[in-house]
Amino acid sequence: MARTLITPSEFQAPLPQEALIDSGPPDEERIDMDVLFVGGGPAGLAGAIMLAKLIKEDNEKGDGVGEVSIGVLEKAGSLGEHSLSGAVVNPRPFRELFPELKDEDLPFGTPVTGESVYVLREKRAIRIPTPPSMKNHGNYVVSVCELVRWLGEKAEEAGVDVFAGFPAGSLRVEGEKVIGVKTVATGLDRDGNPGSNFMPASDILAKVTALAEGSRGMLAQAYMEWQRIKADNPQIFALGVKELWETKKPLDRVIHSMGWPLPNNAFGGSFLYPLESNVVSLGLVVGLDYRSTSLDVHELLQEMKLHKLFKPYLEGGEMIEWGAKTIPEGGYFSVPSRRCGHGVVMLGDSIGLVDVPSLKGVHYAMQSGIYAAQAIFGALKAGDYSAKVLHKYDRLLDDSYIIKDMHKTRNVRLAYNKGFYRGSMKAGLMTITGGRFPGKKIKMEPDAAVPKRVKPAKPFSPDGTLTISKVDAVYKSGNITRDDIPCHLIAKEGVETAVAEFYSHLCPAGVYEVEDGKLTINPPNCVDCKATDILGPRWTPREGGAGPAYKRM
């Protein structure tokens, strides 16, 4: 009998815990650092910069902690290449991190000068008043790539060692304590045998490891599972597919839309931001609890571009980049109860610090890095790296504007679990009452536990100019991963056709294809968005430098 429903979790392999929590003895050939930030994104870099500052100030006072080696590990070949976001950023943490710099010297990009919100129908765009949570006065449209590169320079200036091209493959532990990470081997062939450029994985040990791997961070997941750290709700995610376009028609404000082309039982919306006078960034974000197996975010974005709200900005222009990434959307109730442990703290998106209604997470990530640095500094001063001392990070976070903001909007996204209209009504009520009503936690299932109806896919014929295929999209992401890279995705054997087809629509980069009814995997295509890890085959990092090479996403 043909299958009518697919519950993704039934077909998923579990996270390979034994491989991810490594308690073996450290290598002879290893690097010893004092503090290691895993992930060179806004959270990791802000944390490293803040820590370097605190140490410097302390040493200048006399009787300081002395020289402290701080490292940042980044899996992309260069900083920024795996960074992707909308993005409209609140400049607050920049001012805290760089009080000596003037606003003009900060990498703020274009200030938001206006905004419009629309509900889309297939042929219409109905303007609605901008919800207060989405007002962006005082904020800036930035490219998170450029932001990360700028932060990277500041980190290097502050004496931080940035190691780009080195993914962390597992956590090194001693008892309950995290003592560092092990990187990933380079130069293996398709069958996992060492090729000519083989470099084995290395141990990097540190007194404190700060996990800042971003959305669906692998090691953060592994640590929380190992230490049984829970949150009120499981984390839920959305997949965003984004494009950067050179435009002939200037855009003077940020635009958000909801409704078409998403079905009523999917949560999400689009954004169109002016990045520069002749460059716009545009994307579609869809909650992964969508209900149909053939929903394809990339294809929906392509369809969306033909709508009269967007098309005028794209016609005659040129698509310069394409990319995809997931965003944690669980909000307040999905932030874990504890974000630190012996020798470890967790930052940013990997603990879900994103406010969904305002679509903001970059400044929260940086702020969490700043708080982590303060806690780690305290640990260095005390010479004590236990959870008790690092717990200062938890307190700083809980008392901060981050958690207060997220608390106000704690149910807004969750309200949509029953569909767009009921969700909008509930969300509207929450906004008016400042979050007080409906205020009780709305229980959520993990995305993979939400069954999806098996539906045939709509035919998709990209024209190659305004709309593009996934293969061409991957090219535009700057992905030049070598063709014979070993497969980094853990899929169950013998996946049935309907599930294979679901995967082919799930992945925006065309990693999964169905040939003769069977699942085929194209690992080089992967752009590390993590949608697969959430609903399909589990993701592990490839060798450093693999994946996309975003430039201004």
Partner 1 sequence: MAAILAVLEQRNGEIKRVSHEVLAAARGLADGMGAEVHALLIGAPGMSADGLGGAGADKVLLAADDSLGLYQAHRYAYIAAQAGTDKAAVVLAGTAMGKDLGPRIAARMGAPYFNDVKTMEGSGEITITRPMYSGKAIATVKITASPCVLSVPPNAFAPVDAGKAGATEDVAVPAPVEPARATTVEIKEPEHAVLDVAEASIVVAGGRGVKEEGDFNVVEELAAALNGAVGASRAVVDNGWRSHSEQVGQTGKTVSPNLYIALGISGAIQHLAGMRTSKVIVAVNKDPDAPIFKVADYGIVGDVMEVAPRLTEEIKKISEG
Partner 2 sequence: MKIAVCVKRVPDTEARIKVGGDGKSIEESGVKFVLNPFDEYAVEEAIKLKETAGGGEIVVVSLGTDANQETMRTALAMGADKGVLLKADVAAPDTLAVAKALAAELKEGGYDLILFGKLAVDDGCHAVGAMVAELMELPCVSSISKLEIADGKGKAEREIEGGVEVVVFSLPAAATTEKGLNEPRYPALKGIMMAKKKPLEKKDITLEASGVELTALAYPPERKEGRIVGEGPDAVPALIDALKNEAKVL
| In the block, residue with structure tokens 């709200």 | 309
- Give the count of alpha carbons within 13 A of 285, CB side only: 24
Q: Is 320 in the site for partner 1 (CB under 8 A)?
A: no
The closest of 239, 242, 148 to 476, measured between CA atoms, is 242
Distance of CA 289 to the CA centre of its chain: 17
Phi-psi region of 422 (alpha: psi -120 to 50; beta: other; left: phi over 0): alpha
Closest approach of Cβ 546 to partner 1, in Å?
A: 12
Q: Is 460 in the site for partner 1 (CB under 8 A)?
A: no
Closest approach of Cβ 136 to partner 2, in Å?
A: 24
How far apart are alpha carbons 113 and 249 in whole angstroms? 17
98 binds, among partner 1, partner 2, none (CB under 5 to 8 A by kind): none
Closest approach of Cβ 199 to partner 2, in Å?
A: 6
How far apart are alpha carbons 295 and 193 in whole angstroms? 37
Closest approach of Cβ 529 to partner 1, in Å?
A: 19
The interface mask with partner 1, positions 421-450, x = CB under 8 A, is ------------------------------
163 binds, among partner 2, partner 1, none (CB under 5 to 8 A by kind): partner 2
The one among 138, 471, 517, 518 contacting partner 1 by CB under 8 A: 471
165 binds, among partner 2, partner 1, none (CB under 5 to 8 A by kind): partner 2
How far apart are alpha carbons 260 and 308 in whole angstroms? 12
| In the block, residue with structure tokens 């002016």 | 274
Closest approach of Cβ 276 to partner 2, in Å?
A: 10
Q: Is 454 in the site for partner 2 (CB under 8 A)?
A: no
Contact 146, 87 (CB under 8 A): no
Residue 33 three-state SS: coil
How far apart are alpha carbons 49 and 71 in whole angstroms? 10
Residues 6+ apart with CB under 8 A from 370: 46, 47, 50, 93, 96, 97
Residue ranges in 108-167 that form contacts with partner 2 under rule CB under 8 A: 146, 161, 163, 165-166
The closest of 67, 370, 337 to 228, measured between CA atoms, is 337
Sign of CA dihedral 377, 382, 386, 387: negative
- Pairing type for strands 512-515 and 340-341 reads unpaired
The one among 320, 429, 454, 466 contacting partner 2 by CB under 8 A: 320
Residue ranges in 473-532 that form contacts with partner 1 under rule CB under 8 A: 474-476, 480-484, 524
The closest of 551, 84, 71 to 320, measured between CA atoms, is 551
The interface mask with partner 2, positions 10-49, x = CB under 8 A, is -------------------x-x------------------
Angstrom distances, CA of residue 327 to CA of 165, 362, 454, 456, 484: 23, 11, 25, 27, 30
How far apart are alpha carbons 74 and 408 in whole angstroms? 33
125 vs 480, beta carbon nearer partner 2: 480
107 vs 330, beta carbon nearer partner 2: 107
Phi-psi region of 354 (alpha: psi -120 to 50; beta: other; left: phi over 0): beta
The size of the interface with partner 2 (CB under 8 A), counted in residues, is 23
The one among 469, 498, 514, 552 contacting partner 1 by CB under 8 A: 469
1 vs 461, beta carbon nearer partner 1: 461
28 vs 483, beta carbon nearer partner 1: 483
How far apart are alpha carbons 27 and 147 in whole angstroms? 35
The one among 478, 508, 541, 548 contacting partner 2 by CB under 8 A: 478
232 binds, among partner 2, partner 1, none (CB under 5 to 8 A by kind): none
Q: Is 371 in the site for partner 2 (CB under 8 A)?
A: no
- Pairing type for strands 268-276 and 279-287 reads antiparallel
Q: Is 459 in the site for partner 1 (CB under 8 A)?
A: no
How does DSSP classify residue 138? T
45 vs 387, beta carbon nearer partner 2: 45
Q: Is 106 in the site for partner 2 (CB under 8 A)?
A: no
Structure tokens at 56: 């410097």
478 binds, among partner 1, partner 2, none (CB under 5 to 8 A by kind): partner 2
The interface mask with partner 2, positions 179-208, x = CB under 8 A, is ----x--xx--------xx-x--x-x----
Closest approach of Cβ 157 to partner 2, in Å?
A: 12
16 binds, among partner 2, partner 1, none (CB under 5 to 8 A by kind): none
251 binds, among partner 2, partner 1, none (CB under 5 to 8 A by kind): none
450 vs 527, beta carbon nearer partner 2: 527
Contact 286, 239 (CB under 8 A): yes
How far apart are alpha carbons 206 and 180 in whole angstroms? 5
The closest of 84, 168, 217, 263 to 534, measured between CA atoms, is 217
The contact set with partner 1 (CB under 8 A) reads 461, 464, 469, 471-472, 474-476, 480-484, 524
The contact set with partner 2 (CB under 8 A) reads 29, 31, 78, 146, 161, 163, 165-166, 183, 186-187, 196-197, 199, 202, 204, 320, 478, 480, 544, 549, 551-552
